[in-house]
Amino acid sequence: MAKHVGFIGLGNMGTPMASRLLEAGYQLTVFDVRKECIDALVAKGARSAASAAAVASAVETVLLSLPDPAIVRKVALGADGVIAGTKVKTMLDLSTTGATAAREIAAALAAKGITSVDSPVSGGVSGAVKGTLAVMVACAKPLYAELEPMLKHIGNVFFIGERPGMGQTMKLANNLLSATATAATAEAIVFGVKSGLDPAVMCDVINAGSGRNTATQDKFPRQILTRKFNQGFATGLMFKDVRLCLEEAEALGVPMTVSASVRSVWARANDELGAGSDITAFVQLLERATGVEVKGK
């Protein structure tokens, strides 16, 4: 595929992914609603564009990294969106939208001769910076073979299936488990601290046993015990992903009893801590309720 591609959405995840493509020798034309984000990439060698349509008129392949389905729809299908581009042939959506939105967007773009590829990513800001994200791609196998060399620069690439939305389904299942692990681990650790246990020792023991998960291995040691709370993923986005997952499951008739409780606690976190709070701040809900603080010595 061509080494000149477009990138729209230069936030916490988009900027490091776009930067890795620049470092790999790709020429980028970029757009974001925030000028300072565009300027930061231009300083690294990217070209700026005035709109999503302008990006899609400059390149055949456009990548998106955006916060929610409504914004993805607007950027993809709006009057000044990717669909209005004169050159674009393929749009890769690295965002998390859910399968329903992915299918709707794919159908609308296909009517204009543009192929939509849902390829959401997981691994957080640190994974985006290091190029170790899990990239979940859904598209025709020949197109996947063309895109894989580029996507390898941002992470480990997985072919999920050929139908639009399959990558999104995989991403929602992953994030549901991440949200569950974070919430359940917070309850377990606060329970231990309230009983007099050292949270660092608790994490060490759990990580040596059967309860280990991404929260005990990463979030608690690096973000919560240190009181940094800067994992780089917002509570509002986590709640959105869990909500989307349950909506998709309910439409399929899949019972999600445990997950419904997870949605409820993340809704509370979103309301009480704010959508912009870091997901690792979730533990503060329980700290407030119990009068303890989870921190390292």
**DSSP string computed for 124-173:** HHHHHHHT-EEEEEES-HHHHHHHHHHHTTTEEEEEEESSTTHHHHHHHH
**Token pair listed for 84:** 């209005």
Residue 212 sits at the vertex; the CA angle it makes with 247 and 190, to the nearest 5 degrees, is: 80
CA dist 148 to 114, 135, 220, Å? 19, 10, 33
Among residues 44, 89, 141, 171, which one is catalytic? 171
Q: 82 with 60: CB under 8 angstroms?
A: no
130 is catalytic: no
- Measured CA to CA, the distance from residue 277 to residue 235 in angstroms comes to 6
Spatial distance between the Cα atoms of 51 and 227, rounded to a whole number of angstroms: 39
211 neighbors 171 (Cβ within 8 angstroms): no
- Active site members: 171
